[in-house]
Amino acid sequence: MSAEKSQIAQVAALNGLKCEDCTNMVSGGLFAGEGLSPRYRFIGARSVLFDAWGYTDGYRILFGTSNKERADRLRNDLKSRLASSYKDLEYVEQLGPK
């Protein structure tokens, strides 16, 4: 597993996510855990695309962290981990309605 994939897997694990589909870690992977499912895909020699989606189970809304907060924390953890390893990292975030 390359350094990038290893770092992505470590950040996912620290956020309580387990690999759901890592059969082809060369091109990407899918993680899931407690209503949050992030995915990554390598889209070229120097680019990786992350996206995440979630669902609510009611309990987490009333008594815990929302999936939006968890997705935000995961995004920030990934940015931080990758930025510490790659000095010329450029981060682009899609803008749209929230």
CA distance 61 to 51: 22
Instruction: Tell me the per-residue pLDDT of 50-66, one tens digit each, with 9 for 90 and over.
Output: 887 777 655 545 555 67
CA distance 30 to 24: 10
As a dihedral over the C-alpha atoms of residue 34, residue 39, residue 85, residue 10, rounded to 10 degrees, the angle is 40
CATH of domain 3-85: 3.30.310.180
Q: How confident is the model at residue 13 (pLDDT cuts 50, 70, 90)?
A: very high
Q: In a 10 Å sphere around its CB, with 0-12 CB exposed, 13-18 middle and 19+ buried, how is residue 67 labelled?
A: buried
Q: Is the pLDDT of residue 87 over 70?
A: yes
